């Protein structure tokens, strides 16, 4: 059985549980439950504080864990990142008061910086040869400059609205982060086999989210031009319609190129374009 550590609460918990569900793994996690087993996959789930997950994985109490990259690098434990999961995107950034004349990282020289990430903050300062005083605090970092505790902060930023509310501006990005799957370095063959099965499901779910299934009607005289715009997984599926001179074309488009391709398909003569989300995509 594989042992997985996830956040018991917080910004990654819901997305982690949703990912397991989308992978077809049934998990029952009632109120205040700290440990449970999947009903249809050899997986035991521990619900832990996010800061503790790297330590539990390093010690092989948990075999794998879902945690933010920011926590992995801050805790600096010898665990291996095996997969980026595509949710929980944020960045660890330096921010100062909006009215401050900030010109470069050298502007932090001699300043007081409040943060919950002292290791990464110190690494950043050392890399840039800046001497500053770090104040480690566990929460509400963004209020530190306003109450005179610090001149700047180093904290996680998503939309930036919290900084704006507290009269701060983002100046330097230390780390771009997202949720990752980590493992310890003492895996045996049976554990690796189970992890490979889990990764197979995760890859199918991620691939589906990054692609759309489209169906369209195409005049036959424009078919070659339209097909050239639709590579699909191998090549588009083309079926004749009852209406002579027309064909139905089925394909897959990646999210990144979706709107550009749709515009070009319309311009090439495609009609009745239907777009359908994909639940799983097995390559």
pLDDT in tens, 227-258: 888 865 567 889 999 889 999 999 988 888 88
Is 211-277 assigned to CATH 2.60.200.20?
no
Tell me what pLDDT residue 29 has. Answer: 67
Per DSSP, the chain holds a count of helices (H) and strands (E) of 8, 15
Fold agreement between 90-177 and 211-277:
no
Average pLDDT over the chain, rounded to an integer: 92
State the pTM of this model: 0.85
Q: Are 96 and 78 in contact (CB under 8 A)?
A: no
Q: Are 67 and 50 in contact (CB under 8 A)?
A: yes
Task: Give percent of the chain with pLDDT exceeding 70.
Answer: 97
Q: Where do the structural domains in the chain lie, given as residue ranges?
A: 2-88+178-208, 90-177, 211-277
Q: How far is CA 8 from the centre of its chain?
A: 18
Examine the pLDDT at 106 and tell me if it is beyond 60. yes
As a whole number of angstroms, the distance between CA 141 and CA 54 comes to 23
Is 2-88+178-208 assigned to CATH 3.40.190.10?
yes
Examine the pLDDT at 195 and tell me if it is beyond 90. yes
**pLDDT tens across 10-69, in order?**
889 999 999 999 999 998 765 567 899 998 999 999 999 999 999 999 999 999 999 999
The CATH-assigned architecture of domain 90-177 is 3-Layer(aba) Sandwich (3.40)
Tell me what pLDDT residue 232 has. Answer: 56
Q: How far is CA 105 from the centre of its chain?
A: 28
Best CA proximity match to 72, nearest among 52, 88, 43: 52
Which residues touch 107 (CB under 8 Å, ≥6 apart)? 96, 100, 101, 171
Q: Are 58 and 71 in contact (CB under 8 A)?
A: no
Examine the pLDDT at 112 and tell me if it is beyond 80. yes
Examine the pLDDT at 140 and tell me if it is beyond 90. no
Over residues 151-158, the mean pLDDT reads: 94
């Amino acid at each position: 059985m594989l042992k997985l550590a996830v956040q018991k609460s917080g910004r990654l918990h819901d997305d982690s549980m949703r990912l397991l569900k989308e992978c077809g793994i049934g998990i029952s996690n009632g109120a205040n439950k700290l440990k449970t087993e999947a009903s249809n996959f050899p997986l035991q789930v521990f619900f832990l504080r996010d800061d503790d997950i790297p330590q539990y994985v390093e010690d092989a109490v948990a075999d794998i864990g879902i945690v933010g990259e920011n926590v992995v690098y801050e805790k600096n434990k010898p665990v291996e990142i095996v997969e980026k999961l595509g949710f929980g995107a944020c960045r660890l950034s330096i921010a100062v008061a909006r009215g401050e004349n900030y010109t470069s990282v050298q502007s932090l020289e001699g300043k007081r910086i409040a943060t919950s990430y002292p290791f990464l903050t110190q690494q950043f300062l050392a890399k840039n040869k800046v001497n500053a005083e770090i104040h480690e605090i566990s929460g509400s970092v963004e209020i530190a400059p306003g109450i005179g505790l610090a001149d700047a902060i180093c904290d996680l930023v998503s939309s930036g609205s919290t900084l704006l509310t507290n009269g701060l501006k983002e100046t330097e990005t230390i780390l771009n982060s997202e949720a990752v799957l980590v493992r310890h370095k003492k895996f045996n063959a049976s554990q690796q086999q189970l992890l490979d099965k889990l990764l197979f499901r995760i890859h199918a779910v991620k691939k589906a989210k990054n692609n759309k299934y489209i169906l369209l009607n195409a005049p036959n005289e424009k078919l070659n031009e339209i097909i050239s715009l639709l590579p699909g997984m191998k090549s588009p599926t083309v079926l004749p319609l009852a209406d002579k001179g027309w064909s139905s074309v089925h394909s897959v488009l990646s999210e990144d190129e979706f709107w550009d391709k749709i515009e070009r398909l319309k311009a090439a003569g495609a009609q009745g374009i239907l777009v359908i989300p994909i639940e799983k995509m097995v390559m």
